[in-house]
Structure 1
Amino acid sequence: MAKILKLLPLAILISGTVSAATDNPWYVGARVGGTTFDNQDGVLSGQDLDKNDWGGGAFLGYNFNKWFGVEVGYTYLGQADYLNDGFEVQGMDFVGKFTYEVSKSFDLYLKAGGYWFDADNGVVNESDTGVSGTAGVGAEYFFNNDLSARLEYQYYNQIGDKPSPGESDVHFYGVSLVYHWGAPAPAPVVEPEPMPEPVPQVVRVDAVSATLPFAFDSKALSPDDIQKLQPVAQQLVDYPDTKLYVVGHTDSRGSLEYNQKLSEERAKEVAGYVGQHFGISPSRVVVKGSGELEPVASNDTDEGRAQNRRVEVYVPGFEMTK
């Protein structure tokens, strides 16, 4: 592979802000760190090599769930130097990532899989490609829902081919910066349509009244009188804010003072019956006696005088809103 590939990790690292989030399935990242070659066999075996170098790479991953994901990426593992050249390795990682969530912002993880490598020995001008096993461990810290950083170690087993171009284990240790995306957008908040203001409904309740006839010089209620009082009393029960008006009358026989007193007694008799039998408070009853002053017929005949001996009861009509 071209030497330009060595610059790819740094280019990605510098190209912009990156982020990571456990709720985002996709992620991309860049890593950089140190590498160490050991157990080197082959044409450079036994030579005085500089086995430490820098390495780095870029990777793309997908989380299937909170604990398992896959990664693929390019990793440059540096070069074990000998004289003016050496044993150089780069390639592609294909690994599974197993995560343990310690807290909402901190994870531990393991990685294991394969590494497709290109090993180039510039000293003998030979190269080799193949697949070796790789495994690693790391810790990841989330700064927020988008951005995280990793501290990791990864082991690459027996890269190359002996006797030529050579074979070596490689160790990578470094830091990564990771950007995650792809979480579903939150569902839009749909504001409920405002309910129309209820229109008050005005209800008219009609007045209820009755006229109770009385015998001459009597204030006693008859069964017919009690029957006529039923709808009036029920109106009072159904509408507790209403009032009952009771007005007593007489014919013209007798003195004016006596007739006034008799009309009041007749009105009180009716009001008392309603209060006692229907539980109507006296404060809701207005009692009045008009004596002989408000006749409805002539007092010159028996029929007329019978109509004038009476008690009028009524509950006024009213309007209310619902």
Structure 2
Amino acid sequence: MKRKICSVAVAVALPMMAGTAYANTPSAAELQERMFGSVFAEYYMPDRKKTRDVEWDYLTRGPGVGLELGYRFDENWAVRVEYARQRLKNKLTSDRVTGNRVGIDAMYHLTNSNLYLVGGYKHFDMHHSDALNVGIGYRAFLNENLAFYAEANRYQELRKSGFADAGLKAGLTYVFGSSSAPAPTPAPAPAPTQPAVVDSDGDGVPDHLDQCPNTPRGHKVDERGCTVYQEVEQRVGSAEIRVLFAFDSAEVSREQRADVARLADYLKRYPTATVEIEGHASRIGAADYNQRLSERRARAVADLLVNTHGIERSRISTVGYGFSRPRMEGATREAHRANQRIEALVTARIKEPVMR
């Protein structure tokens, strides 16, 4: 049964989607902030379980009629309330079972399309049940105010029995009032014909004045059509240098100099970069002693960069943090080894294009 319902709904929806907006269709801007009312007829198809259940009076398919009143908020969203009178049939006795359905829907109109989506809540006084519904609809205007519409919905009951009905609607909608959209301004008189100005890269500078053709889109350019650059200071890297010192010593041993050499190579790749050497210590000893020791060790690495690798002194600054910034908390041997470290923070001034 459900498969048949879905097939019917798809069969109705496909020809709807094939059409385009009629010439009489008002624009979405003309329809916003207006009320509308509808009358419709429907064909309602209960879930197959209702045809087998005495609780549902063995209900099977049947017709219905109804009214709607709604309001269009903007170009996409609208809300409506609905009343429907249904006359379904008892499958065993062929007696008609009548009842009312009331509810509220939110409607979303697809941009540049006659299609819309709908979803809402419904109450059926027939067996006192409630359901949520989702559906798709299509509306075609016959003139500025009057439109034909068709719609397919699925109704999912909220009670434990959880029926899943379907329904098809067709009706007429009347949009109250007239368009509040501003009237189109008359087209300006054609300007005198002038020679075409060619700007191939779209930077605002004509080709015959552009000294930098093919400027990237979005770049701000000068009067010559060339990209305008600005210098910005940017952190381009940070590195931990694993340098171990002898007790009460700030001398970098020969075995510990590989990381310093790699830092020097990094600085040479960025000739405008500067570096701050940070010295850190473990929690062994007094705080003021470790503060001075961390400063001496940071200066030792800076001296090695200058004297051995030829990095300008003006590009290097040093600072000691003692044990105020531990990498690992605790008084274990592993924590002491992790906190006895040198870190290098590299900053460069880089040219970046100014964007429009």
TM-score (normalised: structure 2) = 0.38
Larger radius of gyration: 1
Higher share of residues assigned strand: 1
- Greater relative contact order (Cα 8 A, min sep 6): structure 1 or 2? 1
